[in-house]
């Protein structure tokens, strides 16, 4: 079972699930509660897998799911520039998998040699290469 966090407890850098997508919070604005109302939170977040910006405005008591992120190491076997995917071998179970590469490291990935180690994230079953190790 995933853990839950209240909207007013969210901080910059926290990972929450918005519309079923794992996102990293980039900014949060919390309005004070008024005489007859509850506080409101405006959260700006960016998807970890798809890099899309998401903005939500919710009551402070709204609860968000905190997704499980598993960070793993793998060895780079090959890189496909057209599909922007890499074939890697997990260093724990030696499984060979093809994983998309994050937009953040595409320039570095173009110059990376085979047999270099990478870090990939497994976010609720979806995998993405986030950095070169």
How many domains in the chain? 2
**pLDDT of 18:** 94
Q: How confident is the model at residue 45 (pLDDT cuts 50, 70, 90)?
A: very high
The CATH number of the domain holding residue 34 is: 2.30.30.30
Residue 34 and residue 85 in one domain: no
Residue range of the domain that includes 13: 3-66
Q: Does residue 1 or residue 62 have the better pLDDT?
A: 62
With 0.85 as the threshold, say if the pTM is over it.
Answer: no
Q: How confident is the model at residue 39 (pLDDT cuts 50, 70, 90)?
A: confident
Residue 61 and residue 77 in one domain: no
d(CA 7, CA 41): 7
d(CA 69, CA 66): 9
Residue 116 has pLDDT above 90, yes or no: no
Residue 90 and residue 49 in one domain: no
Q: How many angstroms separate the Cα of 1 from the Cα of each of 11, 18, 68, 70, 93?
A: 22, 17, 10, 15, 25
Q: How confident is the model at residue 118 (pLDDT cuts 50, 70, 90)?
A: very high
* SS3 labels along 37-104: CCCEEEEEEEECCCCCEEEEEEECCCEEEECCEEEEEEEEEEEECCCCEEEEEECCCCCEEEEEECHH
What are the beta bridge partners of residue 15? 24
* CA-based nearest residue to 125, from 26, 48, 12, 44: 48
CB 90 within 8 Å of CB 72: yes
Show which of 11, 45, 66 is a domain's final residue: 66
């Amino acid at each position: 079972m995933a853990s839950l966090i209240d909207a007013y407890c969210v901080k910059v850098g926290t990972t929450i699930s918005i519309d079923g997508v794992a996102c990293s919070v980039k900014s949060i604005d919390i309005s004070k509660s008024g005489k007859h109302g509850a506080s409101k939170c405006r959260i700006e977040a960016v998807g970890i897998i798809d890099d899309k910006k998401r903005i939500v405005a919710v009551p402070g008591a709204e609860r968000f799911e905190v997704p499980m992120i598993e960070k793993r190491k793998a060895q780079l076997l090959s890189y496909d520039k057209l599909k922007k995917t890499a074939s890697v071998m997990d260093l724990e179970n030696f499984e060979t998998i093809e994983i998309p590469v994050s937009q953040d490291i595409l320039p570095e990935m173009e110059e990376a040699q085979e047999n270099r180690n990478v870090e990939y994230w497994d976010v609720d079953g979806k995998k993405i290469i986030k950095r070169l190790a």
